[in-house]
């Protein structure tokens, strides 16, 4: 059963383009207020324009997720909006270069991957989950990946394994709360990160990417959703 999220507030990281932008549009169509995030204020403009005609409130926050001080600034910007964060999509991610010589990943590449894909995600969860518990509602969706057998992209693959592990661990602590935390595998999509040879267009992520935001308070927790597999629930 899907819940009504009209009037809820959602923060979607990395929503200036790609998968995040698609999620924003889908949430806005359901009447959810949106906080768009991009690296710069200017980068949010296109997404803001795409949802301007929906009857929802829209905001923009900005900053680099690879910097702890910038992440703290993003959190500060959100809190200064003085609204509850009901839905958090930790969507933003980076993929460092593909190395045919898979022993050639630098420490900087490892660190960049984990800063954006894991450390920032943890910081955002820490910033907003406690208030979700207090407010009696919360949905946290951490974007993962089905990548495997690709040591050429080892920092990215390992960082997504860490996303899965952290989500699983946090779900245990949230089991008896009204907050649900799950992962979402969007599949291999033609985005700036996925590349032009990916299996599916970015639009294929919808509407399945919304499924983990629409579950009941006693719904799945610590589980993985597949955007493509979840499409069928919207046609029932």
Reference 164, options 179, 151, 146; nearest CA is 146
Q: What is the pLDDT of residue 236?
A: 38
Residue 36 CB contacts under 8 Å (≥ 6 apart), including other chains: 12, 15, 16, 24, 44, 47, 48, 58, 59, 60, 61
pLDDT along the chain (236 residues), means of 10: 94 96 97 98 97 97 98 98 98 96 98 98 98 98 94 97 98 98 84 63 87 97 89 47
Stated pTM of the model = 0.93
Could you give the strand order of the β-sheet that contains 224-226, starting from the edge strand earlier in sequence? 58-62, 33-38, 9-12, 87-90, 138-143, 179-185, 224-226
Q: Where are the domains of the chain?
A: 9-235
> In the CATH hierarchy, which fold is given to the domain comprising 9-235?
Rossmann fold (3.40.50)
């Amino acid at each position: 059963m899907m819940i009504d999220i009209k009037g809820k507030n959602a923060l979607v990281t990395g929503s200036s383009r790609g998968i995040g932008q698609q999620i924003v549009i889908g949430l806005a169509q359901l009447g959810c207020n949106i906080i768009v995030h991009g690296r710069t204020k200017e980068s949010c403009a296109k997404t803001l324009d795409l949802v301007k005609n929906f009857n929802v409130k829209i905001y923009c926050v900005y900053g680099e997720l690879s910097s702890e001080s910038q992440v703290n600034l993003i959190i500060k910007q959100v809190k200064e909006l003085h609204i509850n964060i009901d839905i958090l999509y930790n969507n933003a991610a980076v993929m460092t270069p593909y190395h045919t010589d898979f022993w050639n990943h630098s420490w900087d590449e490892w660190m960049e991957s984990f800063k954006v894909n894991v450390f920032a995600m943890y910081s955002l969860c820490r910033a907003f989950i406690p208030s979700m518990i207090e407010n009696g509602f919360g949905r946290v969706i951490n974007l993962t990946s089905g990548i495997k057998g690709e040591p050429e992209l080892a920092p990215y693959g390992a960082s997504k394994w860490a996303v899965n592990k952290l989500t699983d661990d946090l779900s245990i602590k949230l089991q008896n709360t009204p907050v649900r935390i799950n992962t979402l595998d969007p599949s291999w999509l033609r985005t700036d990160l996925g590349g032009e040879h990916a299996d599916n267009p970015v639009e294929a992520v919808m509407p399945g990417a919304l499924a983990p935001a629409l579950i009941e308070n006693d719904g799945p927790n610590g589980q993985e959703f597949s955007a493509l597999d979840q499409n069928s629930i919207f046609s029932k």
